[in-house]
Structure 1
Amino acid sequence: MKKISIFLIFCLIQFSEGLTCIEGFTLVNNKCLKLIITDQTHSAARRECNLNGGNLVSVYNAIDNTAIAQFATVGSDPVWIGLNCPNDHDASSCVWDNQAGNASGYNNFIAANPSNDVGTCVYMLTFGSLRGRWFSASCDGMEISAVCETSPVEQCLYNLNGYCYYPLGELSEVDAQNACSQNCEGSLVSIHSAAENTFVSKIFKDSSKGYIRIGAQLSSGNVNSWIDGSVWDYTNIGYQNKGLGSCYSMSLINELVVPGKWISSNCSALLPSVCKRPQHAQCGSTPAPTLAPPQCSGISYSTDTGAIYSPNYPYSYLSTDTAPCYYILTVTTDTAMIWFTEVNLDANARIELYSSLDTQTPFAIIDRNSQGNITFSTFESSTSLIKMVFKPCTTCGSSSSGTIFRWKAILGKQYPTLCASDQTISTNGIITSTNYPNVYNNYLSCPYNLQNPNKGGRIQLHFTDFWTESGYDYVKIYDGRNSTQPLLASISGNLVGNSNLTYTSTGQNLYVLFTSDRSNVFKGFSAVFYEYP
């Protein structure tokens, strides 16, 4: 029986305004943590974390590492962390279970680790002079405690009986429902009691709005229903006429009906709306989803920016029952673009990219033969949509050679050249010099302020093409918001084909400044940038 001293490190438990954790987890340095005291293997601990709605903990900086080590001292035992290292003595090969990068940016391995001779999984010591240091271990040959992590959940301004309610501006029914679903998979509000009806009617303080949209619909058979699929167990209809429309709005004024009553309305009318979602939905602050389905059981969607992963990433996707995977990737402006930061396909797999949902001809195909030339190459759709179909080998089973077959892609868009402007650009995307791939102009001074919108996140910038006048026209990369911050690099010349032009910030911003002199111009540069843990 393990001895447990129960105490809390109160100085490490920080409550951020607007954030909380689901039941059983504690907010520590903006991470929601749970200590699993039961001794178990790494795979068993990972399963238990998954069942609790999270992953084994990931660590991206020394502050979090110290906080996690101290949090875990309530059980005097080493703890599993969510890291797997397939390559010996190579921290960059160590991939986090939450699919958010590797351990090259930060790690706390003891000397000679990671070591495949010992094992590919990783644990942290929580006691003694080596508290917080990381060691390799056999994934199934060692049973210890573990620390699980989930994302913080939002607290909300308007909440009732475990649900959050939030107002939207004037939108049509379909646009309002789409906007609601983008916020933690919410929906136009459903109403199930007189108390909830009164509560919703008070959200908009400005009575001049007149009417607000709710999530009720009238079918062709004159049957009322809620868009979110909940039971129609309460009604407050004041006037119903299918001829006026098959949607419903709630009156805020004493006009056609008294305030609080519902009336039929045109679905395309632009009305203020109210959304509703469970209060403890794990929405966090990330603007774009990470798509890493354990299997291909349906269609995955991503909007504007985000990382897309092969099934079961960071482990191999190979399976005897894997069906094709479908990803619908869209951007709100311009054309959709995608690039792959890593790709290793089996001999029978392929990735097909289409520019619309109904076209039968892909504009690009990636397979085992072509994959060696596509890393960081940009694939651009002719529309604002990319339909990606991944067809793995369905008869290969697990990789007997130990090879990990997987891929990772980034959805982004082209950003304009920002000469004489300090406009901030949020990830992910592509920046280029003026006129690229044609020659740039003389006398340029073009700043690009790149920002990761997620607190604690970083930016990684990779040049896919580079040719300027050597010694005269420069691209300078600063680690921060402006040119007063530390200079990471100053590059110039013909660097076409150089695969080492990758730079990573220590904070949320990278400042890129491109300058040219009065003579000799070349094609300039193209670079991709993206969120980095």
Structure 2
Amino acid sequence: MKLIVLVVVLAIFGCEAKKKISFKNGQLDIEALKPENKQLGCPQNFFTALSGSLASPNFPYSYTSGINCNYRIFVSSSNYNRISLNINSILLPDDGKILIYDGIDEDSALIYTVNSSMNSGAFRLPSVKSATGGTPNIWSASNAMYISFVGGTLINNLINYGFNATYTAYAGITQSYSSNSTGLLNSPNYPFNYPNNYDRIYTIITPNNGTNQFPRLQLRITDFVTENNYDYLRIVDGSWIGGELIASYTGNPTTPIVVNSSSNAISLYFHSDEAVNYRGFSLFWLTI
């Protein structure tokens, strides 16, 4: 099977109101990707450079109580299509939180939630590649990351609440591509254990059936066993892994599992961490 990196943006971009992707002079209109913040007083919220920093309003001082801000990172370089986000410092009230999505809006996969319990620095959750000194290094599988900051209610005027973070774009995950109308897909080494520290994207796009129609896809997962919460399979509608999440599986769910796409393409992202591995998964697909 030929290995390629396929970055096709077929999603709908937006924030509170969905906005379709648009072009200027044949090029992607980057301005159309800017998120619409819910309140005035939010800082810069759209980032396209290969690295950068973002923060809560007025950082390192407190933000306005109750403020909500959204941030989007979108790296269009074909050589850098994965993002690492590092939260350098954070202090949130009990009802404050940060939601981090792998993609361009809240329809993408939610990969990490930060709340006041993180202030202790004691945590280890799925999608965190590493944690040193209480600061998570959070990785996307796509070239986009959407961050929703909910400030919550500030109750102590003597404390400076807020956060700051830095991001860096890296080379993307190896991707396998198939245009077959049916096929079999197994995790590496199946039925033996998959390797540690493994990341792979699989994209399936059905061909035209001869009547100018593109059939949808159905996945049938016949076996699934992974380390619960830390090794997982994410299934996304469309040919871009940052698109709309259909389902995500970890541990030992009851099989068989049937998953249908709403388009003629589907993408899967399989991730394993640095320890504990099992036999993984086996599935086949067909057109419907």
TM-score interval for Structure 1 and Structure 2 normalised by the shorter chain: 0.3 to 0.5
TM-score, L = length of structure 1: 0.20
More strand by share: 2
TM-score, L = length of structure 2: 0.37
CA radius of gyration, larger in: 1
More helix by share: 1
